[in-house]
Structure 1
Amino acid sequence: MLNQRLIGVVTVKDGWAVQSFRYGRWLPMGKPECVVENLDRWGADEILILCIDRSRRQLGPDFATLERLKRLNLATPLIYGGGIRSAEDGVAVVHLGADRVCVDALLRDDLSAVHKLSRQLGAQAVVAALPLSVANGALAWRDYRRATDTPLDPAVLAALNDGTISEALLIDWPHEGSPRAFDPEIVRLFPARNRQLIAFGGLSESDQLASLFGLPTVTAAGVGNFLSYREHAIQALKAGLTGLPMRPAAYPTSERSCPEPA
């Protein structure tokens, strides 16, 4: 795995890629496979698919979307999150082509299943998604299904610290979709100090990313909406991160099979 990575995040709702704002407002973009194919061609280091309606509606993983993505023969590693209810669901997701799985609701519903999944796939294949905010100098963990906030569960932190989970995706959910808005206090206050962290939510500019990559625990940054706002967005972000141990951007010249998202 690369030392520092730029992850293209694709939010999926009702089978369509959407731009997401604060977990509560969405704008349609198009077919997920078209967005993913572009990220693969442009030089994203990883691609994260977040199917945000699956657990809320008590559905399993979006296997139909995964089947379509599998046919793309992606060169970029793929992380999938959404609707994973058990270790068996996570294994099925990997069998359909995902390299890693991202769990959120399962951390609350059945942490023992996360431990089982780690034993079956290896800790490197398990990522914890943690929607967080800062309130009165402390972190609050968002349950998006119930729209409630609680302190971080010590058992979840223990799973991070003991190596059951390889990385934590720290989502600044109040600033998701807002340019240049990620709150770095989320990283600084996060108590699992020996874990690798992925920052996501409100990241839009190279200088933001460079500042976060200067923190010793941050090994990756996820960018979602802002990769759709301008042409060659990944290339532009990576151009501003010259000198970091990161794969260079790609500048493909061949015709794309999917139209660029509107």
Structure 2
Amino acid sequence: MRIGSTVLLHEQTCVQSYGWELFRPLGSLQGVMDSLEEYQCDEVAIIRPVRAEDTFESFVRDLSVLKSLKTMTPVSFGGGIRSAEHLQHLTDLPIERLVFSTAFLDGNEDLLNAAKNSFGHQAIQCLLPLKRIDNRVCVYHSGLSRSISLDDIDTAFINSFANEIILVDTENEGSQNTFDWSLLNDIPFDRNKIVISGGIGKICVKQAQENNLASVLIDNKVLHKEYSISGFKHAAVLS
């Protein structure tokens, strides 16, 4: 099982998010990536936290800091990739995987096929920001700026196009050992395709291994020594 981290890129700067609402600045993307590389992070998902309307100009500005990024760590990127024009701007960046959310929720087969043809099926990940509302599992749809019920989503479509599915526990984002494991019971995907994020701590890493998950993505708090990736890997070995 891989142990990685999420890095939120907002207006060309890295931020820490708490509960899918509060942003706190962390510094430059290169500085954050240097720290994660020092901690021997297996992978990093760089996500633009698009929570409302997004513009193509904002997308391009955020990509400008990716172009000069120097790292040996495998990187995936997502957040606001909504057209073939967006895809064209990603071909020369130091990224290995693409993360889509709105495209999967809207069933945008043309865009996902274009991404698959350019980067390969193994490079396509689906991100589902989850929370419970009135005892129902809901997914945040950034294109609509609101949550929608999981029952209204074509999960078979997601399963056929996505190589992996990233489940984000938005209510526990920014905390540790609080991931809502009951979410897995309501998600009809193979466990070995699932990546979890939000509320991940060392106890969660052990549970993820026991559930045969593909990976865990720890919040940017890994930049603090007490939450370093090496510590999480040590916990996984002891499980």
Q: TM-score, normalised by structure 2?
A: 0.88
- Inter-partner Cα distance in structure 1 for 2:20 and 2:51: 14
The question of whether the paired residues in 2 share the 8 Å contact of 1:130 and 1:170 is answered with yes
Assess, with a 3 A threshold, how the Cα gap between structure 1 residues 87 and 55 changes in structure 2: closer, same or farther.
Answer: farther
Kindly indicate whether residue 224 of structure 2 is the aligned counterpart of residue 229 of structure 1. Answer: yes
The question of whether the paired residues in 2 share the 8 Å contact of 1:55 and 1:105 is answered with no
Assess, with a 3 A threshold, how the Cα gap between structure 1 residues 94 and 230 changes in structure 2: closer, same or farther.
Answer: same
Kindly indicate whether residue 145 of structure 2 is the aligned counterpart of residue 146 of structure 1. Answer: yes
- Inter-partner Cα distance in structure 1 for 2:168 and 2:12: 22
Q: How far does residue 167 in structure 1 lie from its aligned partner after superposition?
A: 0.4
Q: How far does residue 110 in structure 1 lie from its aligned partner after superposition?
A: 5.7
Q: Which stretch shows the higher mean deviation, 191-200 or 225-234?
A: 225-234
181, 190, 200: which one aligns with 2:197: 200
Matches within 5 A, 1:211-230: 211-216=207-212, 218-230=213-225
Aligned to 2:55, what secondary structure does the other structure show?
Answer: coil
Per-residue Cα deviation, 1:209-243 (whole angstroms, up to 9, x for no partner): 11122113x11000013203335611111111116
Q: Which stretch shows the higher mean deviation, 189-198 or 18-27?
A: 189-198
- Inter-partner Cα distance in structure 1 for 2:119 and 2:167: 22
152, 156, 159: which one aligns with 2:157: 159
Matches within 5 A, 1:68-83: 68-69=68-69, 72=70, 74-83=71-80
The question of whether the paired residues in 1 share the 8 Å contact of 2:96 and 2:123 is answered with yes
Kindly indicate whether residue 40 of structure 2 is the aligned counterpart of residue 43 of structure 1. Answer: yes
Per-residue Cα deviation, 1:5-35 (whole angstroms, up to 9, x for no partner): 1111111111111110122111111101110
Aligned residues, how many? 234
Q: Which amino acid aligns with 2:119?
A: L
Q: Which has the higher helix share?
A: 2
- Inter-partner Cα distance in structure 1 for 2:151 and 2:94: 31
The question of whether the paired residues in 1 share the 8 Å contact of 2:99 and 2:124 is answered with yes
Assess, with a 3 A threshold, how the Cα gap between structure 1 residues 58 and 152 changes in structure 2: closer, same or farther.
Answer: farther
Kindly indicate whether residue 181 of structure 2 is the aligned counterpart of residue 184 of structure 1. Answer: yes
Q: Which residue of 1 aligns with 2:168?
A: 171
Q: Which stretch shows the higher mean deviation, 7-16 or 224-233?
A: 224-233
- Inter-partner Cα distance in structure 2 for 1:196 and 1:171: 14
Structure 2: 5+ residue runs without aligned partners?
none
Assess, with a 3 A threshold, how the Cα gap between structure 1 residues 234 and 37 changes in structure 2: closer, same or farther.
Answer: same
Q: Which residue of 2 aligns with 1:132?
A: 130
Q: How far does residue 126 in structure 1 lie from its aligned partner after superposition?
A: 0.6
Assess, with a 3 A threshold, how the Cα gap between structure 1 residues 194 and 22 changes in structure 2: closer, same or farther.
Answer: closer
Aligned to 2:94, what secondary structure does the other structure show?
Answer: coil
Identity of aligned residues (%): 23
- CA RMSD of superposed structures (Å): 2.3
Assess, with a 3 A threshold, how the Cα gap between structure 1 residues 147 and 53 changes in structure 2: closer, same or farther.
Answer: same
- Inter-partner Cα distance in structure 2 for 1:194 and 1:237: 20
Q: How far does residue 165 in structure 1 lie from its aligned partner after superposition?
A: 1.2
Q: Which residue of 2 aligns with 1:247?
A: none
Q: How far does residue 195 in structure 1 lie from its aligned partner after superposition?
A: 5.9
Q: TM-score, normalised by structure 1?
A: 0.80
The question of whether the paired residues in 1 share the 8 Å contact of 2:79 and 2:100 is answered with yes
